[in-house]
């Protein structure tokens, strides 16, 4: 992940939730750089949805991340959900 990326987090989250969201976004970055295991990505996404349950909050978070990185979390997750492949590579 680029060093200058500011991961969208909330001050209301505890340390574990922040770490889990950062790990999810790290897996998005890996999907673009070298690929990520589908099941690992989906597990991280499920945890992300526990921390960020609202659709509007998710969209805003994805938009902030994509604006900085040109990487679409939405498209990575969509590909993971629809793909039969074990590795997700963007």
Look up the CATH number of the domain holding residue 65. 1.10.220.80
Q: What is the C-alpha separation between 83 and 85, in angstroms, rounded?
A: 5
Asked if the structure places residue 6 within a domain, the reply is no
Asked if the structure places residue 28 within a domain, the reply is yes
pLDDT-derived band at 2 (thresholds 50, 70, 90) equals low
pTM higher than the cut 0.85: yes
Question: What is the domain extent for residue 32?
Answer: 15-88
Domain count, the chain: 1
* pLDDT attached to residue 1: 57
Q: How do residues 20-74 score in pLDDT, each as one tens digit?
A: 999 999 999 999 999 999 999 999 999 999 999 999 999 999 999 999 999 999 9
Asked if the structure places residue 10 within a domain, the reply is no
Three-state DSSP class for 88?
Answer: strand
Asked if the structure places residue 4 within a domain, the reply is no
* pLDDT attached to residue 4: 80
């Amino acid at each position: 992940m680029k060093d200058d990326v500011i991961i969208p987090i909330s001050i209301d989250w505890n340390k574990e939730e922040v770490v889990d969201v950062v790990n999810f976004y790290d897996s998005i970055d890996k999907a673009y750089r070298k690929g990520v295991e589908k099941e690992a990505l989906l597990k991280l996404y499920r945890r992300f949805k526990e921390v960020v349950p609202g659709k509007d909050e998710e969209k805003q978070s994805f938009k902030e991340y994509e604006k900085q990185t040109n990487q679409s979390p939405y498209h990575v997750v969509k590909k993971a959900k629809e793909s039969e492949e074990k590795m997700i590579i963007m």
